[in-house]
Every structure is written in C-alpha cells, then in structure tokens.
Amino acid sequence: MRGLRRNGLAPYFWGEDMRKVMIGGTGMTRFGKFLDTNLRALAAEAATAALADADTTADEVGMVFFGNAAGGLLGAQECVRGQVALRHSGLLGKPIVNVENACASSSTAFHLAVLAVGSGQCDVALAVGAEKMSNEDRTVPIKALEAAADRDEFEELKKRISPDGAGTGSVFMDLYSSLARDYAEQTGATAADYARVSVKQRRAGALNEKAQFQEEVTLEDVLESRMIAEPLTLMMCSSIGDGAAALVLMSEDYAERKATHPVAVLASELRSGQGDDPEAPPVAQAAATAAYETAGLGPEDLSVAEIHDAAAPAELMLSEQLGFCRSGDAVGLLRDGVTALDGRMPINPSGGLLSKGHPIGATGAAQLVELADQMRGRSGARQKEGARFGLAENAGGWIGADAAAACVTILGSTRH
C-alpha cells in the first residue's frame, strides 16, 4: 500500500483500517513574554481561533489533546491542566487528554489527535499546546527545564557537558554549547555560521506578526551579543516565552462538509531516543525515516520545513539528521542560501524557535500551524511559492546522548 502512495497525495493512515486525516483549521496567539496573561487565556484564544478557522463548533469536537510541558513546575497546576485551561471554552464534557512530553508535548498531542481521527474514535479532534514560562524570577523557568533530563544522572550530565563544573546555570544551553563545539570540530562550522542561522531566523520573524522577535539583526549584532555558553551568544539561543497554538483534525469526509481549505496529514511519527545505545540513530533521524516511509516521500520532495532550533547550531545538525543533505554539508546549504526564505527549501520560515519564540509546550503545535499556512498559501511575505509538502521536527528532553522524544510530521497541500 505504501508503495502506491509515492506521490504523497493520500493523507496519513496507519494500517488498512485507518481513515484519511486532514487539518481543518489552525489558531495561534502571538508568542512573547506576557506576565499579566494566564495560561487559560492563551489556550482559549488559540483553541477558539482554530475552531473558527475550521468552520467548526466546540460541540462538534469529539476529543481534545492538551499539550503542556511544565505547568506543574511553573504554575503549580500539576494535574487536570487541560480541563483548567479550557474550562471556559465550551469544551468541558469532552474527553480531554493531558499530554506532557517535554518540548515535544504539543506535537505529541497532535500525533494522538491524528490517531484518534484516523482510527475512527471521532470525526473531529482538537490538539492544543500552551505554555506560560515568563516569571519575574528568571531562575524559575530555567529550573523547570532541568526536569526534562533524567534527574538520577543530572549531576553526571552537567559534568560531562561542562568539564570545569561551572556551567551557565542553563543545562540545555550548556548542552547545545557542547554539541556546537563538537559539530564545529567535525565539520569546520564557525561561530559566524551559527550567527548566520540566527540572522536568517530573525529576518523571517520580522515578517511574522506572531513572532516574539520581529526585528532583523546583522551578523555583527549576533556575534557581539552577550556570550551565554561558548560559542553561543544570546541571539543564538531561543528565549523563554509564553504562547499557545491549536489545530483541528478531522476525517476527510467531515472536512468536505466544511467551508475550509484542508491540509492533508501524510505522516505523523513519534519516537523515543535511545541515547544509551551508541549504535542507534539519532531520534530525529529515526522519526524522519519512518515519516518518509509512511508518506511515500523523500527529503528531496519537501518544499519547506520547520525544525527545532532551540539553539542556532541545531538547525545545521538536524538538517543532516533529517536527510536534507549529507553529513557535514549543512553549512554549505546555509551559506548558499538554500534554506533562506527565498531559497529552494526554506527552513523555519516562521522565524523558528530563535525568532518566533519557544514556549515549550506550544512549540510543536506552532510549527504545524506554520506548515499548514504554507500548504494553504497564506503565509504572506514568508510564503514559499508552490509549497506542496512540508515537514516539522519537534524534539524534547534529554536521555543519555540524545533527545528523549521526537515527532516528525509531514503535511501535504490539497491545492495542487
């Protein structure tokens, strides 16, 4: 069956009995630091917008999957987070499933919504991702992020990535610093290359009204910004922020009854990392391999991609793991402009985590909102003309020597 789907036009299914699944609508708040706005307001804004975009009411929703990573540590709402956040949205009474998978929380929620619709459990499912990270005490969100690593080996991890034991106080930026130095040694990438990623993302973010940062920067601006963890400067690191994003999933038959322009879900793959096994492929690569097989596509077929650039070097590493180029060649893609907004395959036309922002539980859903907009031709000045297929990669947490989880999703336009 999969071999018959080489053109990628058949929406996602898993097995003979799975139905075709479509994105009927999307919604998203602006990302930023909103000290006076609570998680409930953010989640309700995104969910309401997604339902309206899908020409769908709350009554029609069969299941809700609510992604949030750190609400218990950041806001003391450890349990029933989705029920609390969506309390006044008209969705109470529906099955609400709370999903936590570190930074991959809302892409995992989306994955579960795809399975719910595809399996026939419901005709319409809502996936919501929301996070409220900003705090007057900056150490609070940083400490919350530490919970995304195995606490039993936390001190060992810190020593491994910061041999002098000093660190920056942000274990994940220390981790990206260590990975960036290793990558530079292996490939010849420079700090200027990492800065080029940030410049590219800020240029895209300047065209995105939902982005946390909406001003272009120069190479010098990035390189001269405050050093966080050598070689990473402030502008090479994603920022703490708040926001929410939501997507309405529906069966193909149901979508045909709606006044909406649907987007086909061609693949949705979730994998956990095997960071204790030196022979295992990186989790992003494993998820991407499965997604390409499910969609009947290859990386050469993609028009656009949204990937998890929590720090600038991640775009280069992930470009190789996702098969966009051979190992060591990602710097060349960047320098040649292939991944720029006007390039052959733009990466992170939303501005990515570096510019759009990274409220962790909302990030995966926000990536998918951008891809859906690209497939529908409504990304304005950021639009990739003729966009037909798009890939999103969203990872979360850390186990051993790899991310703990990764989701890779492939969407297809129905306009062609």
Which active-site residues does the annotation give? 103, 358
- Round to whole Å and give the CA distance between 15 and 115: 11
Helices 191-205 and 312-321: angle between axes, nearest 10 degrees: 100
Label the pairing between strands 96-99 and 63-67. Answer: parallel
Cα gap 355→341, rounded to integer Å: 14
Tell me how far apart the alpha carbons of residues 195 and 25 are, in angstroms, rounded to a whole number. 35
Give residues with Cβ within 8 angstroms of 405, minimum separation 6. Answer: 101, 102, 104, 108, 270, 271, 272, 273, 283, 395, 396, 397
Relative orientation angle of helices 39-53 and 360-376, to the nearest 10 degrees = 20
Q: How far, in Å, are 107, 347, 409 from residue 373 at the CA level?
A: 16, 14, 15
- Tell me the three state secondary structure of residue 407: strand
Q: How many Cβ atoms from other residues are within 10 Å of residue 100's Cβ?
A: 18
Tokens 């995966």 belong to which residue? 364
Find the length of the chain.
416
Give Cβ neighbours of residue 87 (< 8 Å, ≥ 6 apart).
40
C-alpha–C-alpha distance, residues 412 and 399, integer Å = 32
Radius of gyration for the chain, computed over Cα atoms and rounded to the nearest angstrom: 20
Map residue 251 onto helix, strand or coil.
strand
Tokens of 206: 């300047």
Residues paired with 237 in a beta bridge = 311
Helix (H/G/I), strand (E/B), else coil: 189? coil
Residue 230 neighbours by CB distance under 10 Å: 12
Rounded to the nearest 10 degrees, how much is the dihedral formed by the CA atoms of 175, 176, 180, 186? Answer: 60
Enclosing H/E stretch for 128: strand 124-132
